[in-house]
Amino acid sequence: MLTGNFEYGNNRRVVPERRKRPCMTLRTKALKGSVLLSGGQAVSQGCAFIRNIILVRLLTKEDFGLAATFAITISLFEMVNRLGVSGLIVQSRNGEDARFQATAHSFQLLAGLASAFLIFIFAGWVSVFFNATETLWAFQILAVIPIMQGLGHLDVNRMVRSMRYLPVVLVDTVPQVLITIAALPLALWLRDYRVILWLLIARWVMNAGGTHVYAERGFQFGWDKRHIQGILDFSWPLLINGFLMFGVLQGDCFLVGHFYTKADLAVYSVAVQLTLIPGMMFVSVVGAIMLPLLSAVQSNPVEFRRKYRTCIQALSAFSAVFAIVLIVAGEGIVTTVFGHKYAGTGVILGWLVAANAFRIIRAAPAIAASAKGDTKNLMISNIFRLSGLALGVAAVLCKQSLPTLAACGLAGETLATIVSSTRLSRVHRLPLGDTFLPIGAAFLFVALSGVLALLGVSQWHWAMVFLLTAGLSAASVGVAILLFHQLRSQVSSLALPFLVRMGLAPAKES
């Protein structure tokens, strides 16, 4: 129920008091949370991957390319996620305050209504830009999505403060599962771009409803000037960064949608999604675990640095494995999964993967800065990341190929990673070596993967490619564990209980 009063005590649901387990250490909660988040992300991203396979195979390239313009439009105009209110609930010292939460709800809804207004008003311009005037109605109906986002309940985000991740996982995974189940029959019925439109809307309607189902507090609006100032101070850099992120994540697709054919946009979108899904999955899990952990020790420089090194080393190791698999075996993966009509996508994919490897690593200094309440780090680094988009504009105007456009993103991501890491070191007194050493190790494996791709390894028999990628992936993880003490100690502490149970390691004496 939506209410506008401030009688918080009268509008709460009665929730049984949870018994705290005294033996639940911070590390145990973080481990259980990471398992839960990883499982949730695996389900969500797995559903997205299966859904894409269904839609890419059943729809024509032109219809899939047209549907890609819907995601571009939403990313351009929606402001709800850009304001980062859900993250502020986790990070702020006032995050448990009911009046703060009610004020955040009002702020979030206003952003959703503003986004919906912009989408509806500019739908005509967008349809002309993408040469799709016959689908004006589809662009207008997208205005429903930011309204649903604005009506989401922030209580599921408040629970993350105490590392209770189940509600936020269910809110994300349940809609993903349901729309994936609906994707095949709906695609067989409609057989065109409308499938993706209705699935998008259904997902966000169910997402908003789920936040209310799993909330413990009643949903309330409020307006406290003290909290508004804090929300504005936190959100304005994120709002600017949101527009910058549009340039980073959707800028090249935006250019392809206007200057190339819808079939070209379909090919480019397939490559983009294949690179984004695994990276976003891992980064979201690491961010959800590390943000509260780093925020809790933001006043303790020694402990903060120790946790940050774990974060940057884990992200660097993952980015190396990510690059090896998708650069070396990318062409085979695309044609096997999406069909031979997408043959030749591997070259585009390779450049996009290299760029995304640096984007994954760049999440570490961004998370650390955000834990300190510094949302400007991500904003500033994304300003420099737009240098890649500027190069992309020049490439498009010179009628260069799609792989050249993708390569421009790598230059921008490299510069943005250097800027973000340097600023974190300068502003928050973290040694630059803590960041650049893991990045250097990851870069060597990314470069090696690129060399192997240029030598035509992807044309080998699939079994040989599999063995090569598995061996290189294992080598990259092994190198990371051997080189970096912080990662090695974390892996050892997590693996020791399992080794003891299996009789492979002696139990510690009490």
- Evaluate if residue 226 carries a pLDDT over 90: no
In a domain, 89, yes or no: yes
DSSP 459: G
Residue that is written with structure tokens 């054919």 in the block: 261
Q: Does residue 237 share a domain with residue 278?
A: no
**491 lies in some domain:** no
Q: Is residue 197 part of a domain?
A: yes
Confidence of residue 28 (pLDDT cuts 50, 70, 90): low
45 within a domain of the structure (yes/no): yes
- One domain, residues 229 and 360: no
Tell me, what's the pLDDT at 191?
A: 87
- Point out the least confidently predicted range of 48-52, 126-130, 157-161, 503-507: 503-507
Judge if 240 and 320 occupy the same domain: no
Q: Decide if 368 contacts 492 (C-beta within 8 A).
A: no
pLDDT at 25: 60
Domain count, the chain: 2
Mark out the alpha helices in 59-165 (DSSP H runs): 61-77, 85-91, 98-129, 136-141, 144-150, 155-158
Q: What is the pLDDT of residues 189-208, one digit of tens each?
A: 998 999 999 999 999 999 99
Residues 191 and 81 in one domain: yes
My answer on whether 333 and 223 are in the same domain is no
Q: What is the pLDDT of residue 9?
A: 39
Q: How confident is the model at residue 163 (pLDDT cuts 50, 70, 90)?
A: confident
pLDDT (0 to 100) of residue 122 = 93
Whether residue 207 sits in one domain with residue 326: no
- What is the domain extent for residue 152? 28-246
Residue with tokens 């209310």: 212
Please give the average per-residue pLDDT across 118-139, as a whole number.
91
For residue 344, the model assigns a pLDDT of 85
> Cβ contacts of residue 371 below 8 Å, gap of 6+?
91, 290, 291, 294, 295, 298, 304
Specify whether 152 is located in the same domain as 200: yes
Split at pLDDT 50, 70, 90, the class of 274 is confident
Q: Do the Cβ atoms of 259 and 251 come closer than 8 Å?
A: no
Residues 389 and 422 in one domain: yes
Let me know whether 179 and 327 are in one domain. Answer: no
Q: Above 90 in pLDDT, residue 168?
A: no
- Give the type of residue at 451: V
Query: Are 264 and 396 contacting, i.e. CB atoms less than 8 angstroms apart?
Result: no
Spatial separation of the C-alpha atoms in residues 155 and 213, rounded to whole Å: 10
Confidence grade of residue 395 (pLDDT, cut at 50, 70, 90): very high
Q: What mean pLDDT, rounded, does the chain reach?
A: 83
Q: Which of 217, 246, 275 is the last residue of a domain?
A: 246
Structure-model confidence comparison of residues 208 and 18, the more confident one: 208
Q: What is the pLDDT of residue 501?
A: 60
| Residues 293 and 398 both lie in one domain | yes
pLDDT tens digit sequence for 401-421: 999 999 999 999 999 999 999
- Which of 232, 214, 210 minimizes the C-alpha distance to 223? 232
Q: Lowest-pLDDT range, 15-24, 47-56, 336-345?
A: 15-24
What percent of the chain is predicted at pLDDT more than 70?
88
Confidence at residue 406, expressed as pLDDT on a 0 to 100 scale: 92
For residue 349, the model assigns a pLDDT of 92
pLDDT band (50, 70, 90) for residue 30: low
Model-level pTM? 0.74
* Whether 144 and 203 share a structural domain: yes
Give the rounded percent of residues in the chain with a pLDDT score beyond 90: 31
Same domain? For 333 and 187 the reply is no
Model pLDDT for residues 66-78, shown as the tens digit of each residue: 988 998 888 888 7
Q: Which of these three, 246, 276, 300, is where a domain ends?
A: 246
Cβ contacts of residue 141 below 8 Å, gap of 6+?
197, 201
**Amino acid residing at 371:** A
